[in-house]
Amino acid sequence: MSTSHRFGRILILGGNGQVGFELQRSFAPFGEVHAPRRSDVDASDPDAVAALIDTWQPQLILNAAAWTAVDKAEEEREGAMRLNAELPSLLAQKASALGATLVHYSSDYVYPGDGDQAWREDSPTAPLSVYGESKLAGDEAVLASDCRHLVFRTSWVYAARGNNFMKTMLKLGRERDSLNIVNDQIGAPTPARLIAQLTCEALRQQIDSGLYHLAPQAPPAGMVSPNRSSGRPLSRVKPWRSTHRRWVASRQQITRRLRHAL
């Protein structure tokens, strides 16, 4: 991509996370990037975020900060809501006042997980978890705002840094002789680097404000096998139905939701 396209002052929240780190790399040639750490600015503190924006006056805000501890959100609803619902709402208000563009990232957890088709942008939402509810509330706030905005829903994000399914499987594949891997969930693992690069391209092409799904084509179930990269024989991976696990109610629902995630 030509570096002639400039975005001006760019604020990245969550720059230390999987997506945020890749955003920093992708956007560095295209503007003046400011990516404060959590220790610099607590993104769940609206006054701190407002002061940051007032000082930095960004022309582009990329919000990769989120409460991503899905299970923990069930017990800590308020924390999840502050970060996933109230923060994007505040960012949209500030972007609107500044005439800035806001890019926000969301999740397949806003969908119910039933059916047998990939989710589309116009599929009805019906989150089954507090995490899903909080992400949906954030999306709705941004989509309803009058700032220029892009909301990207993605799924099963992985990267070389951070915690993700791919790294967990690679680690377990090295450590254990036999693995039980769920084979009744269908999803599209999405590299954080792809998310960052497509975000940059979408902005460069000035696509319309709105909601977009950002994920590769969903692979058949079982494609995400640790054997492929750990060198273990396939027979050591046992197919495992999600229902074999003693999920608590909310996790059962989350599992259903994932079965047909994008």
The site for ligand NAP (CB under 6 A) is made up of 14, 16-20, 38, 42-44, 64-66, 68, 83, 105, 107, 135, 154-157, 162
Q: Which is nearer to ligand NAP, 105 or 119 (CB)?
A: 105
Those residues with Cβ within 8 angstroms of residue 39's Cβ, 6 or more apart along the chain or in another chain:
none
In angstroms, rounded to a whole number, what is the distance separating the alpha carbons of residues 177 and 21? 34
Q: The tokens of 150 are what?
A: 């892009």
In angstroms, rounded to a whole number, what is the distance separating the alpha carbons of residues 215 and 210? 16
Q: Which is nearer to ligand NAP, 236 or 242 (CB)?
A: 242
CA contacts within 13 A on the Cβ side of 212? 18
In angstroms, rounded to a whole number, what is the distance separating the alpha carbons of residues 45 and 157? 26
- Minimal distance, residue 135 CB to ligand NAP, in Å: 6
- Minimal distance, residue 66 CB to ligand NAP, in Å: 3
Q: Which is nearer to ligand NAP, 3 or 217 (CB)?
A: 217
- Minimal distance, residue 236 CB to ligand NAP, in Å: 26
Q: Which is nearer to ligand NAP, 30 or 105 (CB)?
A: 105
- Minimal distance, residue 177 CB to ligand NAP, in Å: 28
Which of 109, 131, 158, 212 is labelled catalytic?
A: 131
> By beta-carbon distance, which residue lies closest to ligand NAP?
17
In angstroms, rounded to a whole number, what is the distance separating the alpha carbons of residues 258 and 260? 5
Contacts made by residues 73-76, CB under 8 angstroms, sequence distance 24+: 73/129, 73/130, 73/131, 73/134, 74/129, 74/130, 74/131, 74/250
Catalytic residue status for 109: no
Task: Point out the residues that are catalytic.
Answer: 131
